[in-house]
Amino acid sequence: DEQELMAGFEATIERHDRIEPRDWMPEGYRRTVVRQVAQHAHSEIIGMQPEGNWITRAPSLRRKAILLAKVQDEAGHGLYLYSACETSGVSRDELTEMLIGGRQKYSSIFNYPTLTYADVGTIGWLVDGAAICNQVPLCRTSYGPYGRAMIRVCKEESFHQRQGYELLATMMRGTDEQRAMVQESVDRFWWPALMMFGPPDDDSPNTAQSMAWGIKRNTNDDLRQRMVDMTVPQAEALGVTLPDPELRWNEERQAHDFGTPDWDEFKDVISGNGPCNAQRLEHRRRAWEDGAWVREAATVFARRTEADREA
Ligand code: ACO
């Protein structure tokens, strides 16, 4: 009965074992997995847009090849994560409809514009850097298909982070104009990158339950701190300044103190009013509608092949 099933589920969570799609799980757990994994998948797919914006204008063949490969990796991560999400009983069509209908979210960070080529480097360094901080612990998330997807995604993500850092390091060895371009880009992306980890812990409605279920392994503020501590020495090595006058090493805490992100801006962006929200969703909607004939043709073909086999 239900009580026994719940006891089994809780014991699995307690042991830090995986919950698999065929296992019994409380409806709230399933809903939370769908919400988080879908949001993650949508972020990978929408995340192709800001960088895709520069593919036709890359400064060299080498940079273009790197950027193309990176954006294709993101498509791969998205599809991989949609598959993980489908194991909990929703279809990719439903997920896409929910994204386009504004009923599911994607990461706030992709609602900011990419104004210069330095942004390609900054996204790799800071945005993918934040993604790694957030996702490495998710390799141990309690939902099996999600955790396994994270292992491969993290490997590719750390390559993305290095390519971003290398791009910026190259520009920093260039002209004064190039160095200024890097600094301007870092100034724009620093705070939005810190917002990627979500609201502060005392204003995060989902963290406690998600941690109790082992879906999340760390709180939002924990991971944000990790990101700051990881990035400060990298910024020094690059020779860029992080735009936070309150940023300093705290000997007692053995961690950096830092300022407060503009949480009003964050709330604005996640409720649809960021600088590029409308454009990002509209682009996704158009791609979905333009692809309808491919999905229909594939369905008809599959049905016919099935009928032929039965005949
Ligand atoms: N962008 C958009 N929405 C956000 C963000 C963000 N950066 N951070 C929090 N939210 C939303 C939450 O989804 C939640 O809204 P919902 O209930 O409608 O889903 C609300 O704000 C409150 O936040 P929390 O209670 O803290 O939500 P949660 O426990 O889900 O934590 C977090 C948010 C940390 C983003 C978590 O979902 C997570 O770790 N997700 C996996 C990582 C991910 O999605 N990465 C994608 C970007 S990285 C990349 O693709 C390169």
CA torsion 94-97-101-107 (nearest 10°) is 90
Atom of ligand 1 nearest to the CA of 35: 19
pLDDT at 89 over 90: yes
Which alpha helices (H) appear in the chain, and where do they start and end? Answer: 2-14, 27-46, 48-52, 61-86, 92-100, 118-122, 128-135, 144-172, 176-195, 207-212, 220-238, 263-268, 277-290, 292-310
pLDDT value at position 1? 86
pLDDT value at position 311? 82
Q: How far apart are CA 141 and CA 145, in angstroms?
A: 9
Residues having CB closer than 6 A to ligand 1 are 35-36, 39-40, 43-44, 47, 105, 107-108, 127-128, 131, 134, 195-199, 204-207, 210, 216, 220, 270
User: Which residue's CA lies nearest to atom 12 of ligand 1?
Assistant: 198
The percentage of the chain sitting over the pLDDT mark of 70, rounded to a whole number, equals 100
User: Which residue's CA lies nearest to atom 24 of ligand 1?
Assistant: 204
pLDDT value at position 182? 98
Mean pLDDT of the chain: 97
- 234 — pLDDT class (breaks 50, 70, 90): very high
Q: What's the predicted TM-score (pTM) here? A: 0.96
> CB-based contacts of 243: which residues, under 8 Å, 6+ apart?
186, 187, 190, 191
- 105 — pLDDT class (breaks 50, 70, 90): very high
Atom of ligand 1 nearest to the CA of 32: 30
Mean pLDDT on 103-126: 98
> CB-based contacts of 142: which residues, under 8 Å, 6+ apart?
12, 13, 16, 17, 18, 19, 213, 214, 215
Atom of ligand 1 nearest to the CA of 205: 25
